[in-house]
Chain A
């Protein structure tokens, strides 16, 4: 059924959210209008403000509303380490482990020739100049263990060949607590080829 044009428009707009289909959009719209108009207004304003003011950090390219993000400005981080990741969500995932104290560089994707995503879109030139003009000693490349992630890692390594920094790649293989029997073939192949010697 159709509601009035404004309600239809609201439902339609809500569907741009991940995981929101027509049914959920309808429930959300009716909830906001019937039960929580104050919440609706807050939501609308927060969205407008965020869209208007959140850009990318000039140093690490992560989402930030100030030209330099808090993480990059922090004096408690290790200046000598730089971790290169694909997406902002990867920064969050690593931060949640609490085991990394260095800085980040967010590519906002991976090399994908077919999609037309190349070094320019990933800010590789910016990454290089960051490494050249800072105290970074080691780059940890933490792109995803996919073919495109590997290609991206390789490309970055090649581009940094002339720079006096250590470049490492995160290890990947069998998940912690995983049983070999249930690990997919591709992961096993990767784990085998990335084996390390014990003695």
Chain B
């Protein structure tokens, strides 16, 4: 890892550090996830504070070769995407995924582009779920755990629209007899093929994609749950 000079980046998370500083984690365009200390950023008059918000595109410079760099300069370089409501929570989910799964200091320029694309498309009408699913899919393949959707890796047989399949994180898809009673989760081939084309227009595909990608991400996340997922739960129903 080297110093960062005028590096495009997004803040993934910032936490208060000591009395006046912020310990920030950025997703940078060329060095991936990087920890940077912003000294004095919590002072009332700090001009850095406004740029230290998630989802705002920034350009920053930071010194230090170690794993914790020191922020020299940071400037907003554009408007944040208009994330509000559920899109905002979804944005926090993307950040939590990156923070948990990207190894520190490992360059992921392709994922950076995907992240930027996701942020700008999340708030488009009807795009929330498709964007989240494509992001999860891209992240898995970026980390070397691509989900192969159009053929069974073990046998080389193509996935058929009318057949049913089970998924295993290591061995991929495998045809199963779906009788609705099996203990194993099974997915319809048609939805898998649509997913392979990133076509999420059918609600069945969206449902399948959500469950399947969650299953694929589970071994990478281990037993620590993703906290942002709980924020998607529907509000309680009150009996009057």
* B2, chain A: closest CB distance, angstroms: 26
- The chain B residue sitting closest to A18, CB to CB, is B19
What count of chain A residues pass the 8 Å CB interface test? Answer: 32
**Best-surrounded residue of B50, B93, B95 (most CB of chain A within 10 A):** B50
Docked Cα-Cα span, A161 to B56, in Å, equals 29
Summarize A's interface: helix, strand, loop or mixed. Answer: helix
Q: Cβ of A160 and Cβ of B79 under 8 Å apart?
A: no
Q: Cβ of A186 and Cβ of B236 under 8 Å apart?
A: no
Asked if A4 lies at the interface with its beta carbon under 8 angstroms from chain B, I say: no
- The chain B residue sitting closest to A150, CB to CB, is B88
Asked if A189 lies at the interface with its beta carbon under 8 angstroms from chain B, I say: yes
Given contacts A113-B93, A186-B51, A187-B50, contact A119 B231 (CB under 8 A): yes
- The chain B residue sitting closest to A116, CB to CB, is B227
- Our pick among A114, A132, A161, A184 for the contact of B235 (Cβ within 8 Å) is A161
Asked if B47 lies at the interface with its beta carbon under 8 angstroms from chain A, I say: yes
Asked if B84 lies at the interface with its beta carbon under 8 angstroms from chain A, I say: yes
Asked if B85 lies at the interface with its beta carbon under 8 angstroms from chain A, I say: yes
- The chain A residue sitting closest to B18, CB to CB, is A18
Docked Cα-Cα span, A118 to B92, in Å, equals 12
Q: Cβ of B89 and Cβ of A114 under 8 Å apart?
A: no
Q: Cβ of A128 and Cβ of B89 under 8 Å apart?
A: no
Asked if A100 lies at the interface with its beta carbon under 8 angstroms from chain B, I say: no
Q: Cβ of B79 and Cβ of A162 under 8 Å apart?
A: no
Docked Cα-Cα span, A99 to B225, in Å, equals 43
B interface list, Cβ under 8 A from A:
12-13, 15, 19, 47, 49-51, 53-56, 76, 79-80, 82, 84-86, 88-89, 91-93, 95-96, 99, 226-228, 230-231, 235-238
A interface list, Cβ under 8 A from B:
18-19, 111-119, 128, 132, 146-148, 150-151, 154-155, 158-163, 184-187, 189, 193
